[in-house]
Amino acid sequence: MLLRPFLSASAFFSLASAAIRFLTTEDIGSIFVLDENQDNHYFIPAVPTKEVNLIGVASDTHDKFSVATSIRTGSSPLSRRFLDAQFDAFKELDDVWNENFLKTLFIGFEREVNAFFDDSGKEWLLEKGVRNLYITRGIEKPIFKKANDLNIREVSDVPPHGAWLIRTRTANRNLLRAYPVFGLVEDDHKAFTVGAIPDYLHGGFITTNFTLEHNPGVQYIPVPSRLSAWSSAEMPLAGLRFAVKDIFNVKGLPTAAGSVAWRRTYGKANITSSSIQRLIDLGATLVGKTRTSQFAIGAQPWEFVDFEYSWNPRGDGYLTAGASSSGSAVAIAAYSWMDFTIGSDTRGSIRKPAALVGAFGLRPSHGTLDLDGVIPVSEVMDTAGFFTRDPLIFESVGRNWYKESDVINRSPTLRLPKNLLYPTDQFPLANSDAQILIEKFKHLLRKHLNIVSKPINMTEIITPHFPSQSFEKFHEASLRLSRFRIWHDVGKKLFRDFVNKFGVDEILDIELDPMPNLEFRKGRQVTQSDFVEALTFKRKFSNAMDEEVFLPHSKTCADSIFIYDAAAGGRPSFRVEELNDFEGATQFVLNSLPKGSTEGPKVEQFFHYVASMGGLPEVTIPLGQVQYKSPVTGKWEWMPIAVQVVTRRGCDRVLYELIRKLAEKGIVKAVQAGTEAYVRDSA
């Protein structure tokens, strides 16, 4: 929504040296800038989230909006050292708050003994230009030796930590209304479908789609202050921002699944998927929904009608991000203001994008979460997983989000598995520089974690468990599992409900992307008996993985982990089809081979099916980056390299522990957002 100009007489006013300029307003809130830095845009909701009583005589100080900062503390004295440390931490932790919001300062004291400002703290208040100081009972009112303009009042309570706009209630000047400040950030990589802010009146969320006059082609996402974490320390994910793939229902937000027809037919969700609600209950903050291939059916970036695919920030900007969760992958790779993003993985839709953008990504064991309120691809393979840049956030989200799952083995992991299954039928990679990173990873696993590489031919190990020992039949069984369900649960339902809502004459308005068109057509040809037969094959394969490949172990949960490459062998693959014809490039393999392939599919090209058909957990681990010659820029650019690690079903905690120890030993590092995943000197 391009917000209409805010025509009120209070659209611009000055508060001491802080000037607030309201640019636009809507029913859901207003956008403003501060004159000190008009490059930063902010948003406040229309509804205040906190009301504070001024004790004593009423005041007209805040008849118009004022900037404010709020803190809560149990420390005394309130000294320069304490205040500097507090607000230095604010700067380090938060990208919304800055010192321009210090003109009004709320301080709440959370202990029974009294607190006081020492002389250095009093000097700090004046030096920082604080004009209004609001303190709760228990803090002694500071007395100054020299006259000043500082207005000091006692208040009943203070807002949570962070940046606020405050205003006196018209009917009661002793009542201050506080509005939380959101930063507005560009979605210039088209990762999002919509932004989201909490619906403070009705619960759930409100859709945003902000654009600004100076940059009308880019959506701006409202992001809240991270400082709320200081007020919610008991919530393990407090202060972390996340976005969710647009196949998960969130109350108040539309679910489109990459389809205009689906969004028109079903509109906004009335309830939030339990998997997403759990993250919110753990303290994480939802900021929006990310793009997906239509109905989460894997497709190439050029195969779209309704919504363009998100743009991978790595390298020259034209590398593919692959698969249906690519919007979530791009959001985490492009934006430092995102902490983790949610995707779904049926046959590689988290793992492959994570490898292509250079991020940590997890497909959990099948069945770890209830997938109510999620558009299905195949309920016997669908999982809800996530992306992040930081190994510590990876461990925290994994351990907390799936904590209540009955699928995950709860026995303590006393040590990591010692066997690293290394597939010689896939390695070495086509790019020798990428293979060097794999070899280094193997060496460090042995040196620091005593995990020893065991060369195997994975094709020979798993082929006996295919129907008639045929990979083509195994591949077809997987396709039938998804095609049958995607037609009956999505396609057939959409056409029926669209006609019921809009009439049969409007059916021609349904325009689908090429891959859903193909999958729906093929899905209509899959019979119930075909589906049952494919499901039987899958169950046999899953049992074989448990009984013959990833064996149980009393101390390590699983006796081994399996590594492989889920990307393109260290070669670049592009979002523009013709670019993949350049020397050194290759078209990325999703669920079928590229058009014009002269050879049939090879097992090593589809190792991602092992976890999908086996119900196994799998993590993507970024290792480093290599150079490639860009056909777009004509320069040598950098692209990320990652490796996959798979283990026994239910042994997800092995993967959390592996990532934790790899980070602890410095074997893996947090990746950065932007063109390059690593600072080159430390890659």
Residue 655 class from Cβ within 10 Å (0-12 exposed, 13-18 middle, 19+ buried)? buried
Q: How far apart are CA 543 and CA 614, in angstroms?
A: 8
Report residue 464 as tokens: 């006996």
Residues 471, 603 contacting (CB under 8 angstroms): yes
For 67, list phi and psi in degrees, rounded to 5: -80, 150
Helix (H) or strand (E) holding 263: helix 260-266
DSSP-derived secondary structure letter, 268: B
What is the rounded distance in angstroms from the CA atom of residue 335 to the CA atom of residue 655?
A: 25
HSE-up of residue 352 (Cα within 13 Å, Cβ side): 32
Tell me the angle at which helices 528-544 and 471-485 cross, rounded to the nearest 10 degrees: 120
**455: exposed, middle or buried (Cβ count in 10 Å: 0-12, 13-18, 19+):** exposed
Active site residues: 245, 324, 349
For residue 446, CA distances in Å to 515, 624, 658 come to: 43, 19, 13
Predicted local distance difference test score (pLDDT) of residue 18: 58
Torsion angle defined by CA atoms of residues 238, 354, 566 and 352, in that order, rounded to the nearest 10 degrees = 100
Could you give the CA distance from residue 495 to residue 499 in angstroms, rounded to a whole number?
6
Q: What is the set of domains in the chain, with CATH numbers?
A: 4-182 (no CATH), 233-460+544-682 (3.90.1300.10)
Residue (of 185, 184, 61) closest to 133 by Cα position: 61
Residue 418, burial from CB neighbour count under 10 angstroms (0-12, 13-18, 19+): middle
Report which residue type is found at 143.
Answer: I
Distance, CA of 330 to CA of 328 (rounded, Å) = 5
Distance, CA of 243 to CA of 656 (rounded, Å): 21
| pLDDT tens for each residue of 665-675 | 999 999 999 99
Angle between helices 514-523 and 471-485 (to 10 degrees): 100
d(CA 484, CA 492): 11
Alpha carbons within 13 angstroms on the beta-carbon side of residue 477 total: 27
Burial (CB < 10 A; 0-12, 13-18, 19+), residue 495, is: middle
Cβ–Cβ < 8 Å for 298, 588: no
Residue among 515, 510, 476, 480 at smallest CA distance from 493: 510
Alpha-carbon distance of 146 to 373, in angstroms, equals 63
Q: What are phi and psi of 29, to 5 degrees?
A: 155, -165
Q: Which residues contact 384 (CB under 8 A, 6 or more apart)?
A: 248, 275, 342, 343, 344, 364, 368, 369, 371, 374
Which residue stretches of the chain have pLDDT < 70? Answer: 1-18, 230-233, 593-598, 682-683
- How many CA atoms does the CB half-sphere of 291 hold within 13 Å? 26
237, two tokens: 């994910």
Phi and psi torsions of 59, nearest 5°: -135, 145
Asked if 434 and 428 touch (Cβ cutoff 8 Å), the reply is no
* Helix (H) or strand (E) run with residue 535 in it: helix 528-544
Beta-strand runs (E) in 291-372: 340-345, 360-363
C-alpha closest to that of 572 among 483, 662, 486, 638: 638
Q: Give the tens place of pLDDT for each residue, 210-269.
A: 999 888 899 999 999 998 776 565 789 999 999 999 999 999 999 999 999 999 999 999
Q: Using omega within 30 degrees of 0 as the cis cutoff, is the peptide bond preceding 77 cis?
A: yes
Q: Give me the pLDDT at residue 599, please.
A: 73
245, 292 in Cβ contact below 8 A? yes
Q: CA 415 to CA 412: how far, in whole Å?
A: 9
Peptide bond into 428 cis (omega under 30): yes
Residue 117's beta-bridge partner residues?
78
Q: Can you tell me the distance from the alpha carbon of 514 to that of 570, in angstroms, rounded to the nearest whole number?
A: 28
**SS3 of 640, please?**
strand
Dist CA 588 CA 571 (whole Å): 9
What distance in Å separates the CA atoms of residue 295 and residue 520, rounded to the nearest whole number?
A: 11
What does the radius of gyration of the chain's CA atoms come to, in whole angstroms? Answer: 27
> What pLDDT was estimated at residue 598?
66
pLDDT value for 16: 38
Structure tokens at 554: 């009393």
Q: 20 - beta bridge partners? A: 13, 34
Which pairing describes strands 360-363 and 340-345: parallel, antiparallel, or unpaired? unpaired
Residue 616 contacts by C-beta under 8 Å, 6 or more apart in sequence? 365, 366, 545, 550, 610, 646, 647, 648, 649
The pLDDT value recorded for residue 378 is 96
